[in-house]
Structure 1
Amino acid sequence: MVVKNGLGVINYYSLASGFLSGKYKKPEDASKSARGQGIVEKYLNDRGKRIIEALEDVAASHDASATQVALAWQIARPSITAPIVSATSLQQLD
């Protein structure tokens, strides 16, 4: 519908609050941020683990990070105009 009507989507939470960066791989990782517990509860399941594994496999084969692969996939979607990334530290901008 979006492509058909010439609309663009700017998606918020494009990295699922850090989950798609590989930041949360086990329940103990919830302590890495104030939002961590909610992220772990919502995304750290079998499906989420498979997604992270796939991101890391693709990243390794392209000398990239899981974050870069997740964002590249979104940018390549014809319906997504731009993903919004919300960094919480300067380190995350590297």
Structure 2
Amino acid sequence: MTLLVTVFAAIISTILWYQKENRKELRLGTLSLMYWGASIMWFVDAIFEYAELHAAYFTPDPMDMLNDLFLGLSVVAFGLIIWLVILLIQDPKKIVRNAILNQ
């Protein structure tokens, strides 16, 4: 489930990166790469878990699936938080800088 959640986030962020004209300003490439990296990490985890569990890998308990869903959503939320912090620090449109200087 974590793999599915992060792959969907990676696909959505990649589509946004491809369609937006101001992709450099918004650092959408960074967001996309974070999600693709998480997807690769979960894919490798799935391979090793399948090697350990074999056929039982495809019949998880509902509670395990729910835990994996929450973990995947947490990873996506954490990626968004990191992306927002990067945007606030770099401040490409100088909005934060102007707000601080005008006070």
Normalising by structure 1, we get a TM-score of 0.29
Point out the structure with max Rg over C-alpha: 2
Q: Which has the higher strand share?
A: 1
Q: Which has the higher helix share?
A: 2
